[in-house]
């Protein structure tokens, strides 16, 4: 497949001066503490638009954040063009001074092809990350990918837990059987995280970045094949929903955030403790969690408004976050 030059920046709806892809990625990396100085991150790179933009952004942010970047591509053996696409990724990595390696896996055609290819890909990435001493594997998922996944899960009848998809950071899938590191048990991937630095960005932000920096990329023809449900959701359902509600992607991502952290309060009390970064009982959205995290760093208490008009006082005794409902504060009081 011949490479495509980066397109001109496409128009964006809803933002007159949208932040750059670099700014969006840096904001999420810092807010969610995805990477720290000295961390090694392995960028999963196929030569497609999302992963090419991700590799470029992670490389540009090295000086600001202090991490190291390595890149790895996986050839599933299903398309002859994959080798050419990976060569684009290799060329970009060389220009950026990023070490690049590849793995060829054998995924036989047949039932559950996408699931089996995904499992083989993550196993190869986990193995490469362990060999490179990487703490995290970064993928190029965007807000559009997250919204599409929420819709796909809805169409399949998923409940609230099943709609909490594609968080900024997550453990590796259990079928990614990479070798263990840092004292983890054999066969365990506990030492390696999966991170998604582009989740605040839309697909249009990615294309604008590629055009602005004139980065070549390849398109996987399966992304246009209507036999796949995701392609129909992307090309048919999501555009229709955006006509009805232009911010539907943001709404679906916010819903996924709330379902990832929202739980009913424990019986017998209104107090809840947040263990580390995970809110276990209150329905907090991303903005509320980020405000709590900033207050934690400063050691200052604050109040956040939650569903139903309640205000919650937040304190930080002994490195924990304690939320206590104040019944006297209601919306409009």
Structural domain boundaries in the chain: 21-237, 263-326
Q: Residue 182: what pLDDT?
A: 44
Residues 224, 215: Cα–Cα separation, whole Å: 21
Q: Residue 208: what pLDDT?
A: 96
Range with lowest mean pLDDT among 72-86, 108-122, 189-203, 295-309:
295-309
pLDDT (tens digit per residue) in 291-319: 776 676 666 777 777 655 566 777 666 54
What strand order describes the sheet that includes 100-104? 100-104, 68-75, 40-44, 136-138, 193-195, 169-171
Contact criterion met (CB below 8 Å) for 34 and 61: no
Q: Residue 308: what pLDDT?
A: 56
Q: Residue 263: what pLDDT?
A: 40
Architecture of domain 21-237: 3-Layer(aba) Sandwich (3.40)
Model confidence pTM above 0.85: no
The backbone torsions φ and ψ at residue 314, rounded to the nearest 5 degrees and listed phi first, read: -120, 125
**Angle at CA 103, nearest 5°, toward 97 and 108?**
150
Range with lowest mean pLDDT among 20-29, 88-97, 224-233:
224-233
Residues 20, 208: Cα–Cα separation, whole Å: 9
Residues 120, 107: Cα–Cα separation, whole Å: 8
Helix 143-155 with 248-261: angle, nearest 10 deg? 70
pLDDT (tens digit per residue) in 138-170: 999 999 999 999 999 999 999 988 999 999 999
**Residue partners of 248: CB distance under 8 A and separation at least 6:** 147, 238, 241, 242
Whether the pLDDT of residue 16 is over 50: the answer is yes
Q: Residue 69: what pLDDT?
A: 98
pLDDT (tens digit per residue) in 20-58: 999 999 999 999 999 999 999 999 999 999 999 999 999
Whether the pLDDT of residue 277 is over 70: the answer is no
């Amino acid at each position: 497949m011949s490479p495509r030059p980066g397109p001109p920046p496409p128009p964006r709806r809803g933002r007159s001066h949208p932040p750059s892809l670099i700014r969006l990625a840096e904001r999420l990396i810092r807010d969610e503490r995805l990477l720290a100085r000295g961390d090694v991150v392995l960028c999963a790179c196929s030569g497609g638009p999302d992963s090419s933009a991700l590799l470029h952004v992670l490389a540009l942010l090295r000086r600001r954040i202090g991490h190291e970047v390595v890149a790895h591509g996986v050839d599933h053996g299903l398309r002859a063009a994959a080798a050419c696409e990976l060569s684009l990724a290799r060329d970009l990595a060389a220009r950026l001074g990023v070490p690049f390696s590849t793995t060829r896996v054998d995924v036989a055609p047949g039932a559950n092809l996408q699931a089996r290819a995904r499992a083989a890909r993550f196993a190869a990435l986990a193995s490469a990350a362990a060999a490179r001493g990487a703490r995290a594997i970064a993928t190029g998922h965007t807000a559009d990918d997250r919204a599409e996944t929420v819709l796909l899960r809805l169409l399949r009848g998923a409940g609230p837990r099943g709609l909490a998809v594609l968080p900024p950071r997550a453990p590796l899938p259990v079928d990614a059987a990479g070798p263990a590191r840092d004292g983890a048990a054999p066969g365990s991937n506990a030492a390696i995280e999966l991170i998604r630095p582009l989740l605040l960005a839309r697909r249009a932000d990615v294309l604008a970045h590629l055009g602005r920096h004139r980065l070549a990329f390849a398109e996987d023809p399966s992304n246009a094949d209507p036999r796949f449900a995701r392609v129909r959701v992307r090309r048919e359902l999501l555009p229709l929903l955006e006509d009805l509600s232009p911010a539907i992607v943001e709404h679906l991502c916010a819903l996924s955030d709330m379902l990832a952290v929202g739980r009913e309060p424990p019986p017998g009390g209104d107090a809840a403790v947040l263990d580390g970064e995970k809110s276990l009982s209150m329905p907090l959205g991303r903005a509320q969690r980020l405000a709590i995290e900033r207050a934690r760093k400063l050691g200052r208490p604050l109040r956040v408004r939650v569903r139903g008009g309640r205000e919650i006082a937040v304190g930080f005794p002994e490195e924990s976050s304690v939320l206590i409902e104040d019944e006297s504060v209601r919306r409009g009081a």
